[in-house]
């Protein structure tokens, strides 16, 4: 039995702690947030402050990959979610996967995290809330190798054989001199604006949602638990439209200008609630432990954003984190010594997770360049043809079922990272040169938004009201 300290209790930290305890180890979970768990999902949504979770109230829907991994790693989560009002749908996509479950989960992130936390609280995991890890404790092992001794906190030291870093891409645990490498962050050039609605209509069509790709903006709207619907616009980082859609009238005007989204919200009888919220500094990150020149500390592993994270434009942030938890479980059950566990887990990340980081960076460069061109903020230099397959994913998915299937698998990190590009490249070869440009359509859509915003602009008496 190993002494395991898991640092950070976001979704991936909770899953890591539960899975390590289920494997028979003594687990201590350390979380800097000292607030008690909310009483219910409504309180979690309204009052749960999660400073270390940048997308806590952005859109979250969970497809087959997340559901399959979560139910395998933390099986008690399913009944907890059902009791909390989360919505489950059968998978109706154009492809089936070699998974045990084919279901889609619709729930706000705060709902999922609260339900997962309740399951962990009932387990053998020893949970210390309101405790901040200040540093990693390292000792010399046999043969002069560095090994984990535990972590230091203001409340005292915690001894450990294995420290699991789940503190996100801002982690300080990997700054130890023995690692001697830097973390890497590649900005995506993309920003997100989300607004939420209450609905007067529920059921399958509302829960399944809709997507729109009109050239100047990518938008997704989807149902969640308790009659909530979210709509998120994806914009280039310097798009002047950003300031407009950060107002409720501006965001509603944008959504109304997108026919598919407008029809969906009308059918759902959606009523906006609250102000739009933004996630701006998003991108792809790789922890120092995975740098080519990184030294190794036996007993230190990173999971989730502390190891590898990707821009969530394809909704694969949590599935990628849970896949890392699954790799950790495999390493814990397939090796004997702490040194073997550390080496085995790092090898699994380099082979099975790091390629998604590289692939996502290429996808982001193409997507952000396209959004910037249509927003009028991009440079006039020719578009690099290396990124053409990534740029054409949305168009190809509409015309080729094979590409649509590959895009779904890509978003769920199923298969190989290059599968999607190969499918789109085949479609591009069959299609030949693009016959038309969508610049005129883009200009028209942006003009519609600008006009609608002027009409919907609040009066002076309304500007001081809480939205």
Output the pLDDT for position 184: 93
Q: Residues 301, 295: contact at Cβ < 8 Å? A: no
Tens digits of residue pLDDT in 89-118: 888 777 777 777 788 888 999 999 999 999
Measured CA to CA in angstroms, residue 183 lies from 8, 133, 174 at distances of 18, 19, 8
Considering just the CA atoms, what is the radius of gyration of the chain in Å? Answer: 23
Q: Note whether 49 and 56 are within 8 A (CB).
A: no
The predicted pLDDT at position 394 comes to 80
> Which band of pLDDT confidence, cut at 50, 70 and 90, is reported for residue 450?
low
Determine the distance from the C-alpha atom of residue 339 to the mean position of all C-alpha atoms in its chain, rounded to a whole number: 30
Task: Give the tens place of pLDDT for each residue, 155-193.
Answer: 999 999 999 999 998 899 999 999 999 999 999 888 999
Q: Name the band, by pLDDT with cuts 50, 70 and 90, for residue 448.
A: low
Q: Which two tokens stand for residue 73?
A: 């790693």
199 three-class SS: coil
pLDDT number for residue 12: 95
Burial of 141-166, coded b for 16+ CB within 10 Å and e otherwise, reads beeeebbbbbbebeeeebebbbbbbb
Percent of the chain with pLDDT over 90: 49
Region 243-266: what's the mean pLDDT? 92
Give the whole-angstrom CA distance, residue 185 versus residue 384. 22
Provide mean pLDDT across the span 407-416: 84
Kindly tell me if the per-residue pLDDT of 146 is higher than 90: yes
* Per-residue pLDDT at 466: 32
The pTM (predicted TM-score) of the whole model is: 0.89
**Helix axis angle, 317-334 relative to 64-73, nearest 10°?**
40
List helix spans (H) across 131-172. none
Predicted local distance difference test score (pLDDT) of residue 446: 55
pLDDT band (50, 70, 90) for residue 230: very high
The three-state secondary structure class of 105 is strand
Tracing tokens 């607030």 back to the chain, one arrives at 35
Average pLDDT over residues 198-215: 80
Task: Tell me which of 105-114, 235-244, 247-256 is least confident.
Answer: 235-244
Rounded to whole angstroms, the Cα distance separating 5 from 167 reads: 12
d(CA 106, CA 47): 21
Contact assessment for residue 65 and residue 99, using Cβ atoms and an 8 Å cutoff: yes
User: Using alpha carbons only, what angle is made at residue 182 by residues 332 and 384, rounded to the nearest 5 degrees?
Assistant: 105
82 CB contacts (<8 Å, ≥6 apart)? Answer: 88
For 425, residues 6+ apart whose C-beta sits below 8 A from its C-beta are 389
Instruction: Yes or no: say if 428 and 455 are a contact pair by the CB < 8 Å rule.
Output: no
11-25, 98-112, 424-438 — which is least confidently predicted? Answer: 424-438
**What pLDDT does 310 receive?**
87
* pLDDT per residue as tens digits for the range 25-70: 999 999 999 888 999 999 999 989 887 776 777 767 788 888 889 9
Euclidean distance between CA atoms 121 and 119, whole angstroms: 5
Buried/exposed 197-234: b ≥16 CB within 10 Å, e otherwise: bebeeeeeebbbbbebbbbbbbbbbbbbbbbbbbbbbb
- For residue 378, the model assigns a pLDDT of 62
Spatial CB neighbours of 282, under 8 Å, sequence gap ≥ 6: 54, 187, 188, 190, 191, 192, 311, 312
| Residues 207 and 223: beta-carbon distance below 8 Å | yes
Q: Environment class of residue 52 by beta-carbon count within 10 Å: exposed (0-12), middle (13-18) or buried (19+)? A: middle
Q: Which of 77-81, 188-192, 448-452 has the lowest mean pLDDT?
A: 448-452
Q: Kindly tell me if the per-residue pLDDT of 385 is higher than 90.
A: no
Give the side-chain half-sphere CA count within 13 A for 427: 25
Q: Which domains does the chain have, with CATH numbers?
A: 3-186+285-357 (3.50.50.60), 189-281+444-456 (3.30.9.100), 381-434 (no CATH)
pLDDT at position 160 is 97
Of residues 292 and 370, more confidently modeled: 292
- The per-residue pLDDT for 359 is 86
What is the 8-class DSSP label of residue 10? S
* Contacts of residue 45, Cβ cutoff 8 Å, sequence gap at least 6: 57, 108, 110, 111
442 has a pLDDT exceeding 50: no
Point out the least confidently predicted range of 139-148, 263-272, 458-467.
Answer: 458-467
Contact 72, 100 (CB under 8 A): yes
Give 298-344 pLDDT, tens digit per residue. Answer: 999 999 999 998 887 766 788 899 999 999 999 999 778 999 999 99
Give the highest mean pLDDT range of 75-89, 111-125, 212-226, 421-435.
111-125
> By the 8 A CB rule, do 77 and 108 touch?
no
Please state, in angstroms and as integers, the Cα–Cα distance from residue 155 to each residue in 133, 203, 300, 347, following that order.
9, 49, 21, 34
User: Across all residues in the chain, what is the average pLDDT?
Assistant: 86
Position 377 pLDDT exceeds 60: yes
| Calpha distance 90→31 (Å, rounded) | 35
Question: In 133-178, which ranges are E strands?
Answer: 135-140, 146-153, 156-159, 162-165
At 191, is the secondary structure helix, strand, or coil? strand
Stretch (H or E) spanning 388: helix 388-391
Q: Which residue has the higher pLDDT, 382 or 348?
A: 348
């Amino acid at each position: 039995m190993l002494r395991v300290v898991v640092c950070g209790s976001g979704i991936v930290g909770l899953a890591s702690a539960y899975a390590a305890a289920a494997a028979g180890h003594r687990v201590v979970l350390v979380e800097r947030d000292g607030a008690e768990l909310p009483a219910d999902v409504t309180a979690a949504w309204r009052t749960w402050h999660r400073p270390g979770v940048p997308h806590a109230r952005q859109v979250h829907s969970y497809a087959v990959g997340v559901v399959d991994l979560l139910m395998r790693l933390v099986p008690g989560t399913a009944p907890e979610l059902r009791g909390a009002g989360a919505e489950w749908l059968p998978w109706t996509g154009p492809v089936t996967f070699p998974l045990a479950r084919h279901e889609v989960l619709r729930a706000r992130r705060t709902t999922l995290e609260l339900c997962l936390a309740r399951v962990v609280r009932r387990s053998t995991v020893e949970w210390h809330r309101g405790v901040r890890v200040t540093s990693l404790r390292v000792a010399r092992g046999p043969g002069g190798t560095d090994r984990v001794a535990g972590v230091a906190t203001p409340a005292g030291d915690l001894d450990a054989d294995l420290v699991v870093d789940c503190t996100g891409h801002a982690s300080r645990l990997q700054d130890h001199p023995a690692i001697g490498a830097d973390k890497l962050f590649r900005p995506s050039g993309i920003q997100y604006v989300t607004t939420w609605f209450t609905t007067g209509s529920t059921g399958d069509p509302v829960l399944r949602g809709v997507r729109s790709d009109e050239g100047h903006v990518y938008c997704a709207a989807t149902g969640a638990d308790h009659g909530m619907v979210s709509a998120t616009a994806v914009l280039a980082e310097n798009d002047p439209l950003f300031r407009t859609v950060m107002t409720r009238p501006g965001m509603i005007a944008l959504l109304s200008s997108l026919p598919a989204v407008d029809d969906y919200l009308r059918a759902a009888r959606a009523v906006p609630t609250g102000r739009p919220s933004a996630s701006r500094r998003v991108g792809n990150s790789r922890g120092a432990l995975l740098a080519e020149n990184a030294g190794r500390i036996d007993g230190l592993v990173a999971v989730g954003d502390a190891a590898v994270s990707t821009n969530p434009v394809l909704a694969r942030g949590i599935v990628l984190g849970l896949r890392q938890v699954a790799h950790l479980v495999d390493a814990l059950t397939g090796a004997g010594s702490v040194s073997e566990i550390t080496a085995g887990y790092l090898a699994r990340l380099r082979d099975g997770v790091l390629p998604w980081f590289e692939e996502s960076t290429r996808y982001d460069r193409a997507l952000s360049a396209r959004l910037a061109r249509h927003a009028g903020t991009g440079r006039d230099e020719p578009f690099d043809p290396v990124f053409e397959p990534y740029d054409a994913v949305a168009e190809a998915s509409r015309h080729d079922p094979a590409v649509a299937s590959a895009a779904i698998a890509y978003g769920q990190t199923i298969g190989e990272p290059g599968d999607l590009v190969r499918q789109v490249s085949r479609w591009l070869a069959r299609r030949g040169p693009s016959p038309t440009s969508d610049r005129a359509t883009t200009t028209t859509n942006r003009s519609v938004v600008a006009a609608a915003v002027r009409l919907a602009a609040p009066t002076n008496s309304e500007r001081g009201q809480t939205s």
